[in-house]
Amino acid sequence: MLSSAVSHQWGRPRTPVRVQAIASGSSSRAAATTSSIPAISDANGDVARRIAACAPIAEGVGIVGDVLSGFKKNMILTSGALLPWSAYEGPQRRAIIGGALFEGLATTEVEVDEKITNV
């Protein structure tokens, strides 16, 4: 949707980007070390250049459950690849817990941890 708007309104070509999740069981520390792999480092640089060169235009604002098919009220979206709950650490883990509390999915941090662990 957004790429179509940018292409149409600004005459910029759309460039498909392939996103690949880190294998299940990988830790976030292992993911951070991938920058030492030349192909991944080059790809990250390419993506950063593409992001810096674009001029995105928002097509609208909506409630995620209304605009994202398959979204369920107990789903939590993160800013990165899907990882096992045990692999989330520090600020990322606290953000997920805080979001779950804010959305009323639990009333305590312990309850959030238990619910996510037992999914």
Question: Could you read off the pLDDT of 73-94 as tens digits, one per residue?
Answer: 888 888 878 889 999 999 999 9
Q: Which residue has the tokens 């708007």?
A: 5
What single letter denotes the amino acid at residue 1?
A: M
pLDDT (tens digit per residue) in 94-118: 999 999 999 999 999 999 999 999 8
pTM score: 0.51
> Residue 113: exposed, middle, or buried by beta-carbon count in 10 A (0-12, 13-18, 19+)?
middle
> Do 45 and 51 form a contact (C-beta atoms < 8 A)?
no
Query: What phi and psi values does residue 114 have, to the nearest 5 degrees?
Result: -65, -45
4 or 75: whose pLDDT is higher?
A: 75
Compare 99 and 14 and report the one with higher pLDDT: 99
Do 49 and 43 meet the contact criterion of CB atoms below 8 Å apart? no
pLDDT at 8: 54
2 and 59 Cβ atoms separated by less than 8 Å? yes
- The reported pLDDT for the residue numbered 40 is 79
DSSP string, 12-55: PPP------PPPTT--HHHHHGGGGSHHHHHHHHHHHHHHHH--
